[in-house]
Structure 1
Amino acid sequence: MIVDTHLHLINKSALTYPWLGGVPALDRDFLYSTYEAEARRVGIDTALHMEVDVDPREIEMETSEVGQLSRREGSLLKGAIAACRPEEDGFAAYLERQQGDPLVKGFRRVLHVVPDDLSDGAVFRENLKRLAGSRFTFDLCVLPHQIPKAIALADLVPDLQFVLDHCGVPDIRSGAEHPWCEHISEIARRPNVVAKISGVVAYADESWNAETLRPYVEHTIGVFGWDRVVWGSDWPVCTLGGNLSTWVATTHALLNGCSPDERTKLLSANARRIWRLA
């Protein structure tokens, strides 16, 4: 069975998503019921909700909405990676409020939609240090040229578990492997970083196939190793390159020839260990 570590849900009647206007293909509802039906068919039995960059005033509302869905009988949702704003003075109080919520497994601040120097700020860095040694993870969502910024954060807080989203967002559409390749190899040297094999179908052109994605997925797994990779659907963003079933089938094709132990680590075991999932 598969643990999906990167599920987005969009419910426009409940929350506001300022960025959706710029992505017409995603500017509609993508609800839990739709995801669940397909997820169960392809073998997903556990999912972590990934924040969807809602209006900052609605960050805690988003977590509450996910919590309600997680309490449904038989829900696949077992945790949430919540949005946060480490660059703001109110982060400490926000973090304290999340401490008592077992649903919250970690945090993310999308860094490729803000100025490159945001994570260099003193407030951002001091607030990130508040997560040191905690049960929380921190997802890094950066473009290839920003991976050195992610490396700096990993070095700043060595006892915080970081998760690099989407194989570091390679530019597969253009076939560009550099400087992505070198940067991925460098960040993989940090033992407190794991890589998420997720979302890459959205970065390829319409004619992609498994072999198009293979160099990027295999390089990421190769430098991180099987104990430091997890899998994510990035639904519904993955629908820009296919659908959930297509991405799961492609993943299995890419894993052809791997041992059962390696396959299990990527698809479920590592995620269950990192986020303490039953």
Structure 2
Amino acid sequence: MRIDAHQHFWLRERGDYDWLTPDLEPLWQDFLPDDLAPILEKNAIAGTILVQAAPTDEETAFMLSLARAHPFIRGVVGWTDLSVADAPTRIAALASDPLIVGLRPMLQDLPDDDAILAPQVQPALAAMTRHGLALDALIRPVHLPRLIALRESHPDLRVVIDHAAKPYIASGDLERWARDLKAVAADGITHCKLSGLVTEAAAGWTLDDLRPFVAIVLEAFGPERVMWGSDWPVLNLASDYQGWVGATHDLLSDLGPEQQASILGGTAQQFYRLEER
């Protein structure tokens, strides 16, 4: 079963997508399940993980309403403020909904690079572990060492790095990113999404621009801890769904069928515990 482990929807009139502005012309429209469903069918993708795009509880409720109406949405990665005193209570309530598979603080947008390590956040992370929710880490390379410290405090928290931590593909600067990514992966537990790479590449990117970065991800995590995602519709800034699917097939062509199957669906099913839902 093929799973898209990372996609978004939004309805602009909801008004909480502060990052979404008219200058992002390919994204300045509504994107909803009826837009994605035929694309999934064309590419033989059976289901998706719907990931938050706004840091509000209201958007999480919106995503859950979409998931209840559209069965191809196999799980929702929502949001709640992990720093507030009642975060553990909020997390328990969210976890009672079987469609919630994880939470994503938008760490890349926070002014403090150490935000995930703040003392007030630790009870929330413990609650996520207790209730079986995964942490989607929306981070940049600077945050990778923070994940090592996070793991020391929460060894049983399931963590997946979104978009391979957004490496500097456009500049080709991979040395420090590769070192820190491998250090994180050495825990044998943390997972990584093969997604969001084309939007970090320069305009007119080629497969050769991506290959060194994909090779490092696969070397660090192995296929059993890598999951493919489209990052649709953000993907539309640099490609389209069919283009990224085709690129993925080329980038993974040296792997065996079982390894490809893990990356294209099996890893996501295991990590997000979709088989239990």
Report the TM-score range of the alignment, normalised by the length of the smaller protein.
over 0.9
Give the match's secondary structure for 1:18. coil
Aligned partner of 1:105: which letter?
Answer: V
Aligned residue in 2 for 1:261: 258
| Identical-residue share of aligned pairs (%) | 28
Aligned residue in 1 for 2:45: 44
Aligned residue in 2 for 1:212: 209
Alpha-carbon shift at residue 136 of structure 1 (Å) = 0.9
Alpha-carbon shift at residue 19 of structure 1 (Å) = 1.4
Distance 2:238 2:176 in 1: 24
Structure 2 gap ranges (5+): none
TM-score (normalizing by structure 1): 0.93
Of 270, 273, 276, the match for 1:276: 273
Please say which of residues 175-184 and 17-26 is displaced more in the overlay.
17-26
Aligned partner of 1:185: which letter?
Answer: K
Deviation string, structure 1 residues 177-209 (Cα, Å, up to 9, x no partner): 021010111000112210111110110111111
Aligned residue in 1 for 2:223: 226
Aligned partner of 2:18: which letter?
Answer: P
Aligned residue in 2 for 1:68: 65
Question: How many residues in Structure 1 have an aligned counterpart in Structure 2?
Answer: 273
- For the 8 Å contact 2:95–2:131, the answer to whether it is kept is no
Question: Which of structure 1's runs of 4+ aligned residues deviate more than 3 A?
Answer: none
Aligned residue in 2 for 1:24: 24
Match status 1:105 vs 2:106? no
Distance 1:84 1:22 in 2: 27
Aligned partner of 1:158: which letter?
Answer: P
Match status 1:125 vs 2:125? no
Please say which of residues 123-132 and 239-248 is displaced more in the overlay.
123-132
User: 1:57-96, aligned counterparts within 5 Å?
Assistant: 59=57, 61-72=58-69, 75-96=71-92
TM-score (normalizing by structure 2): 0.93
Question: What's the C-alpha RMSD, in Å, of the aligned pairs?
Answer: 1.6
Deviation string, structure 1 residues 19-77 (Cα, Å, up to 9, x no partner): 112852323211211111112111211101000024x3xx2x3233223322336x310
Distance 2:115 2:24 in 1: 28
Distance 2:102 2:167 in 1: 24
Distance 1:102 1:150 in 2: 27
Alpha-carbon shift at residue 176 of structure 1 (Å) = 0.9
Alpha-carbon shift at residue 223 of structure 1 (Å) = 1.0
Match status 1:4 vs 2:4? yes
- For the 8 Å contact 1:109–1:140, the answer to whether it is kept is yes
User: 1:126-275, aligned counterparts within 5 Å?
Assistant: 126-275=123-272
Aligned partner of 1:89: which letter?
Answer: A
Aligned partner of 1:198: which letter?
Answer: S
